[in-house]
C-alpha cells in the first residue's frame, strides 16, 4: 500500500510566503500528488481556509513555529532555527515522509540546511544549483548557479555528471551533450580551473563537446552547461537583466505615440505569446543537486504560477528517479576508478 | 599648425576586412577627422577606388604587407607579424602620427601587440577591455571584458579607476558611480578576490556604491561596473545570447500564422525602433584601457555601421583626453600613497 507522491512545501519561504505557496499548492494537489504545508499551524490553517482549501484531500499541514528570514545568515538559520518551516520541510525528506521539498526561502540558508540534514551523495563534495534555461533549440540545464564560488576542476566534473544525469532522466536523453563555459579569448583560453576541468571532462565517459562561450548557453545545441557558481550566478542574473531591459524597451517603443499604441494593440496577442516564452516564471525551480534527497529552490519573488512550476519540477525529479540515477552513475564511476 | 585629429585603421582586421573598414572610413573622414588606412598598399588602393574614395581628402594609406589571422596566437603575431596592418596601426599611435587606432582583429593579438608596443601607464599592471552597454537609465561602462582571466583585487581597483575616468571624460560626469560585480548569495558573498577588492574600493576616493548583481548591470543606476575578465566576458556574451534568443522568439511568434504576420506588418516600424535600441552595432567599440595610447577593438563581425561606431568611440576618447586624465588620476593616487 504505497502513498501517493508527496512533496513538502516551506509555506513561509519567499518574499510573500503563504499567499503564494498555498494557492500554488491548491492548484497542484490531487489524488496522485500529496502536498504537506509546513509552517505555523494556525497561520497555515487560516490561510488554507481563506483560499477555500480547508479539508481538501491531498493537502496536509505540518507545524513549524519558526521562519528563516530572507536575509538571515545560513550559519544562524542552521543554529537557531531548528523548527523553521524550511528545516522541518527538509526533515520530512530525510525521514522519508516526503519525496521532495520546495522552498522559496533564502538560498544560502536552504543550501546549508539541506546539506546539513540530508548530506551529500557519496562521491559528491559540493552540491550545485541547477536550472533549465530556454534556448533556440529548447532548453539547457545549467549548473552551478551560485552554490559554490570557488569551484575546483574536480567539482566541475561532478557538476557535469549530475547535470548529465538530470538531463537524461528528465528529458529522456541517451547521452546529453555537455559544454564547459569559458571565455572566447585565444591563447590564454580560460583560467586554470577551466583548463583542468576540460581535461577531466575529456577523459570522462560523459558526452563532453568542449568549451561554450556565454552566448552558446542560449544558442548552441547542448543539453548541459557547466560552470563555477560565481560566473554561473552572474551570467544567469545578467541574462535576466537583459530580458527585463528588452521588455522595458519594447514597452517604451509601443508607448511612444497614439500610432505605436495602436500597433501595440494589434500586436498584443503576439507580444503576449512572446513574453510567455521568455517568462522567467516558466523556468522557476532550481534543483539543489548532489544531496541525498530532492530539494527545489523557488525564486524568492515567485508568484503562484512560478511556485507551481517549482512543485512540478520537484515532481518530475521524483518520478524520473533523479537521485538513484546519480547514485548509480557515481558508483559506476568509483568502481571504474578502483579498477584502474 | 596642428593637424586634424587622426586615427589609424587596421584595414585587414575582422572577419571581412577592407569591405567593412574602407566604407566605414569614407563615411567618417572629413576636415576634422583624418583617417590612415593601414594595410597592403595595392589592396587598400584598389578597394578605396572601388568605394569611390580615391584621392579623398582626410584619407591616406600606410603600407603594411602582413595580416594577423583571426585565430593566430598572440605570441606568434607578436613574433612573426612585425609588419602586419594591426602592428603598423599601433606603431602610428606610438610615434604620434595617429592619436588613436581601431582594429577588428583578434583580441588576444591586439592586446598583446598594443601592450608590447605602447606599454601600460605607470601604476597600471594590466590593461582592461571596457565597453558601454545599454541600460534602462542610459548606458554603463563595464570592464574587464576578457583581457584578464585571473585578476587580483588590486587589478579590479585599477579597472575601477580607469572606468571611472573614462565615464567622467566621455559622459561629462563629476563622480561616476562604480559597482563591483558579485553574486547575490548571502554569507559567502563572493570569492576572495571580490571581497578584497570591495575593501580597496571602499577605501579609495572613487564613488564606490557597493556590490552589483548580474541584472544590476542593466537595471541599477550606475555608470561603471567592474569585474574580472572571465566573468565579464561570459556575462557580456550571455547577454548577447539572450538578445539573439529574444529576436528569435519574436520572429517565430510573428511568423506563426497569416494573422500574426499581419500584426507583424503593423507593428514593424515599432519593432524596428526596438531592434535599433538593442542593436549591438550601436555599442561596437571597446577601449583597451591602461595603455599609453588609445586602442579601440571593434567586434570581428562588425559591419560598416558598427565599425564607424568604433571610430567614433576612438575620436571621443581623444577629444575628451581620456589618457592624460587617467594618468593624472594615477599620479594623484600614487602621491597620496607616498604621503601615507
Residue A328 domain-assigned? no
Residue B243 domain-assigned? yes
Backbone phi and psi for residue A30, each to the nearest 5 degrees, phi listed first: -170, -170
pLDDT at A339: 58
Q: How close is the nearest chain B Cα to the Cα of A150, in Å? A: 6
Q: Could you tell me how many CB contacts below 8 A there are between chain A and chain B?
A: 232
**Residue of B89 and A258 predicted with greater confidence:** B89
Residue A308 domain-assigned? yes
List strand residue ranges (DSSP E) for B228-312, in order.
286-289, 294-297
Cα B204 to the center of its chain, rounded Å: 25
Angle among Cα B36, B89, B145 to the nearest 5 degrees reads: 120
List strand residue ranges (DSSP E) for chain B, in order.
5-10, 33-39, 59-63, 100-103, 128-135, 138-143, 177-181, 207-212, 224-226, 286-289, 294-297
Helix axis angle for B153-171 and B322-339, nearest 10°, is 130
pLDDT at B185: 52
Split at pLDDT 50, 70, 90, the class of B187 is: very low
Q: Do both A255 and A312 map to the same domain?
A: no
Asked if B273 lies within 8 A of A266 by C-beta distance, the reply is: no
Instruction: Scan residues 110-139 of B and list those with Cβ closer than 8 Å to A.
Output: 134-136
Least confident of A66-70, A183-187, B62-66, B185-189: B185-189
Domain encompassing residue A13 = 1-124+290-321
CA distance B80 to B68: 9
In a mutational test of the A interface, the residue from B142, B245, B286, B288 whose CB has the highest number of chain A CBs within 10 Å is: B245
CA distance B242 to A217: 9
Say if residues A300 and A72 touch (Cβ distance below 8 Å).
no
Say if residues A314 and A7 touch (Cβ distance below 8 Å).
yes
Who contacts B59 (Cβ-Cβ below 8 Å, separation ≥6)?
Answer: B25, B26, B29, B34, B35, B37, B48, B53
Q: Do both A47 and A11 map to the same domain?
A: yes
Q: Do both B245 and B226 map to the same domain?
A: yes
Q: How close is the nearest chain A Cα to the Cα of B94, in Å? A: 25
Q: Do both A170 and A93 map to the same domain?
A: no
Is residue A186 less than 8 Å (CB to CB) from chain B? yes
Angle among Cα A22, A23, A28 to the nearest 5 degrees reads: 95
Residue A327 domain-assigned? no
Q: How close is the nearest chain B Cα to the Cα of A185, in Å? A: 6
Asked if B214 lies within 8 A of A241 by C-beta distance, the reply is: yes
Q: Do both B158 and B66 map to the same domain?
A: no
Nearest to A98 by CA among A114, A122, A112: A114
Q: How close is the nearest chain B Cα to the Cα of A333, in Å? A: 30
pLDDT at B189: 67
Q: Could you tell me the CA-to-CA distances from A11 to A87, A320, B179, B309 in Å, in that order? A: 11, 25, 35, 52
Q: Do both A58 and A169 map to the same domain?
A: no
Say if residues A294 and A314 touch (Cβ distance below 8 Å).
yes
Least confident of A26-40, A184-198, A312-326: A184-198
Q: Do both B97 and B179 map to the same domain?
A: no
Mean pLDDT for all residues in chain A: 91
pLDDT at A188: 57
**Average pLDDT value for residue range A277-299:** 90
Say if residues B224 and A248 touch (Cβ distance below 8 Å).
no
pLDDT at A186 over 60: no
Least confident of A122-136, A217-231, B273-287: B273-287
Backbone phi and psi for residue A172, each to the nearest 5 degrees, phi listed first: 65, 35
Q: Do both B93 and B142 map to the same domain?
A: no
Asked if B214 lies within 8 A of A227 by C-beta distance, the reply is: no
Tens digits of residue pLDDT in B283-332: 899 999 999 999 999 999 899 999 999 999 999 999 999 999 998 888 87
Tens digits of residue pLDDT in A234-256: 999 999 999 889 888 888 888 88
Residue B16 domain-assigned? yes
Name the closest residue on chain A to residue B236, using Cα atoms. A214
pLDDT at A338: 64
Is residue B258 less than 8 Å (CB to CB) from chain A? no
Kindly list the residues from chain A whose CB atom is less than 8 angstroms away from the CB atom of residue B219: 241, 244-245
Q: How close is the nearest chain B Cα to the Cα of A265, in Å? A: 9
Number of domains in chain B: 2
Residue A331 domain-assigned? no
**Average pLDDT value for residue range B109-127:** 93
**Average pLDDT value for residue range A165-183:** 92
Residue B68 burial (10 A CB sphere; 0-12, 13-18, 19+): buried
> What is the three-class DSSP state of A104?
coil
Provide the CATH number for the domain around residue B13. 3.40.718.10
**Residue of A54 and B225 predicted with greater confidence:** B225
Asked if B73 lies within 8 A of A186 by C-beta distance, the reply is: yes
Q: Which three cell numbers stand for residue A319?
A: 518520478
Name the closest residue on chain A to residue B150, using Cα atoms. A191
CB atoms within 10 A of CB A138: 10
Tally DSSP H helices, then E strands, for chain A: 12, 11
pTM of the shown model: 0.90
Q: Do both A162 and A221 map to the same domain?
A: yes
Tens digits of residue pLDDT in B241-259: 998 898 888 888 888 888 8
Q: H helices within A180-303, ranges in order?
A: 192-203, 216-219, 229-254, 258-277
Residue A337 domain-assigned? no
CA distance B335 to A9: 59
Tens digits of residue pLDDT in B205-235: 999 999 999 999 999 999 999 999 999 999 9
Name the closest residue on chain A to residue B269, using Cα atoms. A260
pLDDT at A181 over 90: yes
Instruction: Scan residues 289-328 of A and list those with Cβ closer than 8 Å to B.
Output: none
**Average pLDDT value for residue range A196-209:** 93
Nearest to A51 by CA among A82, A11, A93, A100: A11
Residue A339 domain-assigned? no
Asked if B183 lies within 8 A of A249 by C-beta distance, the reply is: no
> What is the three-class DSSP state of B120?
strand
Q: Do both B264 and B141 map to the same domain?
A: yes
**Average pLDDT value for residue range B135-149:** 92
pLDDT at B94 over 90: yes
Q: Do both B270 and B296 map to the same domain?
A: no
Q: Do both B103 and B192 map to the same domain?
A: no
Peptide bond into A163 cis (omega under 30): no
Amino acid at each position: 500500500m504505497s502513498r501517493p507522491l508527496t512533496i513538502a512545501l516551506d509555506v513561509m519561504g519567499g518574499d510573500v510566503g503563504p499567499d503564494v505557496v498555498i494557492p500554488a499548492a491548491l492548484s497542484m494537489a490531487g489524488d496522485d500528488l500529496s502536498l504537506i504545508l509546513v509552517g505555523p499551524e494556525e497561520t497555515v490553517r487560516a490561510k488554507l481556509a481563506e483560499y477555500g482549501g480547508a479539508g481538501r484531500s491531498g493537502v496536509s499541514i505540518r507545524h513549524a513555529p519558526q521562519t528563516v528570514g530572507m536575509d538571515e545568515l545560513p550559519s544562524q538559520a542552521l543554529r537557531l532555527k531548528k523548527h523553521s518551516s524550511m528545516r522541518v520541510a527538509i526533515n520530512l525528506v530525510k525521514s522519508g515522509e516526503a519525496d521532495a521539498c520546495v522552498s522559496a526561502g533564502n538560498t544560502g540558508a536552504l543550501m546549508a540546511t539541506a546539506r546539513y540534514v540530508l548530506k551529500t551523495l557519496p562521491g559528491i563534495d559540493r552540491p550545485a544549483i541547477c536550472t533549465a534555461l530556454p534556448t533556440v533549440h529548447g532548453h539547457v540545464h545549467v549548473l552551478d548557479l551560485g552554490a559554490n564560488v570557488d569551484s575546483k576542476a574536480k567539482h566541475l566534473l561532478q557538476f557535469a555528471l549530475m547535470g548529465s544525469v538530470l538531463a537524461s532522466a528528465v528529458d529522456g536523453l541517451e547521452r546529453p551533450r555537455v559544454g564547459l563555459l569559458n571565455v572566447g579569448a585565444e591563447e590564454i583560453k580560460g583560467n586554470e580551473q577551466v583548463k583542468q576541468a576540460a581535461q577531466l571532462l575529456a577523459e570522462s565517459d560523459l558526452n563532453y563537446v568542449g568549451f561554450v562561450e556565454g552566448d552558446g548557453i542560449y544558442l548552441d545545441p547542448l543539453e548541459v552547461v557547466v560552470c563555477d557558481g560565481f560566473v554561473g550566478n552572474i551570467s544567469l542574473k545578467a541574462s535576466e537583466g537583459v530580458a527585463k531591459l528588452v521588455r522595458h524597451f519594447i514597452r517604451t517603443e509601443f508607448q511612444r505615440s497614439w500610432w505605436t499604441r495602436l500597433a501595440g494593440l494589434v500586436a498584443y496577442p503576439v507580444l503576449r505569446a512572446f513574453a510567455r516564452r521568455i517568462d522567467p516564471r516558466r523556468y522557476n525551480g532550481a534543483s539543489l543537486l548532489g544531496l541525498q534527497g530532492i530539494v527545489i529552490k523557488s525564486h524568492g519573488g515567485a508568484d503562484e504560477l512560478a511556485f507551481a512550476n517549482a512543485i512540478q519540477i520537484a515532481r518530475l525529479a521524483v518520478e524520473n528517479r533523479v537521485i538513484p540515477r546519480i547514485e548509480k552513475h557515481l558508483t559506476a564511476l568509483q568502481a571504474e576508478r578502483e579498477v584502474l
